[in-house]
Amino acid sequence: MMSLKGKGAITGIGETAYERASPFSAFELQIQASLAAISDAGLDPKDIDGIIPIGITGAPAEAFVMNFGIPDLRFSALAPLGGASGIAAVQCAVAAISAGLCNHVLIPAGRNVSSGARAGVRIHQMPQFHQVTEYELPQGAIAPAQLYAPMARHHMELYGTTSRHFAEIAVGIREHALLNDNALMKKPITIEDHQNSRMIADPFRLFDCSLESDGGAALVVSSAERARDMRQPRVVILGSGEGHPDSPSSITQRPDMTRLGIAKAAPRVFEMAGVTHADIDVAEIYDCFTYIVLCQLEDMGFCKKGEGGPFVEDGKLRLGGSLPTNTHGGLLSQAHMLGMNHIVELVRQLRGQGGRAQVDGAEIGLVTGYGDMGDGAMAIMARG
Amino acid sequence: MSIDLKPVPHATPESQSYWNGVAEGRLRLQRCSQCGLVRHYPQLVCTKCYSVAVEWIDASGRGTIHSWTVAHHAFHPAFKADLPYTLVTIDLEEGPRALGRLDLASQSKLHIGMAVQVSFPANDQGVKLPMFTAMV
Ligand SMILES: [Zn+2]
């Protein structure tokens, strides 16, 4: 059987400035980020022959063909997994390239929530969440914070996980954001600041919740073979996978509420990549909420289910720790860019372009995505 | 969503019997006519035997607390007056789970496994929705 191991590489990355309220439309932000990624790869927009746009309500592939004058788009697809879409799209791109369907796939994302619907409203317009809209929304279960909080509360009651464990995640990621000029949050926070931040949806306090922000991010995926001769240091995708939780569209009906889709994908990804947990030098873990980071660490097997609190407590997720995590500041403190910023950051780290947050000697890293109530995706990448 | 009013449930052909039950103060669940599996939320196909044939049963309305959240921030203005309110997930006696509000008097005793009973009081807009109360 053919494996995708080592077949694809991320050859271009691009980001706009992240802002609270961007003057640009989501599509314009996508275009800006796309041009940056294509230029980073040393390509011309007309070299792009595959497109997987992120965001099911965003601009279609045709919009990029029109604006870039792409002469022969040979492949387009959608990967509708919410915040896991970016990694799922990378996997889809590698599969298409490996099968000879196309050469360079653009994965563009753009977001302007300041001029559009915010999280609570968006969910209820999405057809896959019609049950949440019918049965839960009328009762006041509206926003992701409220829908995800019972997962965290269940974990706390079963395993003794505490809000201070969540705080350690928020504080460490904030430290990293302070090293990133393109991060929205500019002030350090302490565990006590977290504990004093206002309650949003118990057990989630304000500092457990990700930011709402505007911006664009884009990737170019090419074959690992072509990537040898392209502009940037090569970052190869060793393994990738997506996983969908039981009862994917209703958290309420999920038999084990503490098990996300990534629990199904992670063993496949480690096996495909042929690496172990100890080989991971840097991790970019989807952090819409602090608890979601903790749960994914367990689901990926970095510790046993229920041990995520003590696992993170010693500061190992901070720069200098054994598993530096969200070196860019994540969704919690850099910006909410649907996890595309996590993929961009992992590539930077593995190229050695991590700036003040560079993990010394980072050679192998992982990135995760989470979205749509529990879908997960994961990739392991390596330099060289 | 309207700015001023709480969103209301819109029944579908699959869920009409559930909402008819709610209007009468009864918790009705789908049961597969072929294999007997009870399911919730209402959906077209039985996950065990793939039959679309379904009958509706009156559930006991009893269950136990599975998890919860206490809302302290209104993500929709119509819920501001309700703050803080507790949403609970309930393991129903028949197997599936339900989500509802927890009545105020039960909140101090809240813990996983706490026995509860459903009722369907009307909210401030006259819409009947599941509310759980600790059993004494
Ligand atoms: Zn059946």
Tell me the pLDDT tens digit for each residue of B22-56.
999 999 999 999 999 999 999 999 999 999 999 99
**A367 CA distance to ligand 1 middle (Å):** 39
pTM as predicted: 0.97
CB atoms within 10 A of CB A138: 18
Cβ–Cβ below 8 Å for B7 and A133: yes
Q: Which residues of B touch A141 (CB under 8 A)?
A: 87, 99
Is residue B81 less than 8 Å (CB to CB) from chain A? no
Query: Best mutation site among A121, A134, A295 for testing chain B: the one with the most B CBs within 10 Å?
Result: A134
pLDDT at position B4: 82
Q: Which residue has the higher pLDDT, A59 or A352?
A: A352
Whether residues B72 and A134 touch (CB distance < 8 A) is answered with no
What is the spatial distance between Cα B28 and Cα B20, in angstroms, rounded to a whole number? 9
| Cα of B10 to nearest chain A Cα, Å | 6
Domain A8-116+211-383, CATH number (from 3.90.110.10, 3.40.50.300, 3.40.47.10, 3.30.1300.10)? 3.40.47.10
Same domain for B38 and B105, yes or no, is no
Cβ contact A141–B1 (<8 Å): no
State the residue for tokens 């009156």.
B58
Of A153, A200, A257, Cβ closest to residue B72: A200
- Which of B59, B74, B90 is the C-terminal boundary of a domain? B59
Strand partners, B99: B89
Please tell me whether residues B23 and B49 are part of one structural domain.
yes
A73 vs A59: CA distance, rounded Å: 15
Q: How far is B97 from chain A (nearest CA, A)?
A: 6
Contact A149 B69 (CB under 8 A): yes
Mutation target for B interface from A122, A139, A153, A295: give the one with most B CBs within 10 A. A139
Chain B positions touching A156 (Cβ under 8 A) are none
Residue B41 Cα to ligand 1 midpoint, Å, equals 15
Q: What is the pLDDT of residue A136?
A: 96
The rounded percent of chain B whose pLDDT value lies above 90 is 96
Q: Based on the domain organization, do B85 and B109 belong to the same domain?
A: yes
Contacts of A203 in chain B (CB under 8 A): 69
For chain A, give every domain's residue range: 8-116+211-383
Mean pLDDT of the A308-319 span = 98
Q: For B46-82, how does the pLDDT look when each residue is reduced to its tens digit (9 = 90+)?
A: 999 999 999 999 999 999 999 999 999 999 999 999 9
Same domain, B94 and B106: yes
Task: Give A204's strand partners.
Answer: A201
Chain B CB contacts of A139 under 8 Å are: 87, 99-101, 129-130
Secondary structure of chain B as H, E, C letters = CCCCCCCCCCCCCCCHHHHHHHHCCCCEEEEECCCCCEECCCCCCCCCCCCCCEEEEECCCEEEEEEEEEECCCCCHHHHHHCCEEEEEEEECCCCEEEEEECHHHHHHCCCCCEEEEECCECCCCCECCEEEECC
**Number of domains comprising chain B:** 2
On the question of pLDDT at A213 being above 70, the answer is: yes
Domain boundary among B19, B40, B59: B59
pLDDT computed for residue B136 by the predictor: 80
CB-count burial class (<10 Å; 0-12, 13-18, 19+) for A157: middle
- Asked whether the beta carbons of residue A137 and residue B66 sit closer than 8 angstroms, the reply is no
pLDDT digits (tens, 9 = 90+) for A112-132: 987 765 555 566 777 778 899
In sequence order, which residues have a C-beta less than 8 Å from that of residue B35 and are 6 or more positions away? B46, B48, B49, B51
The parent domain of residue B36 ranges over: 10-59
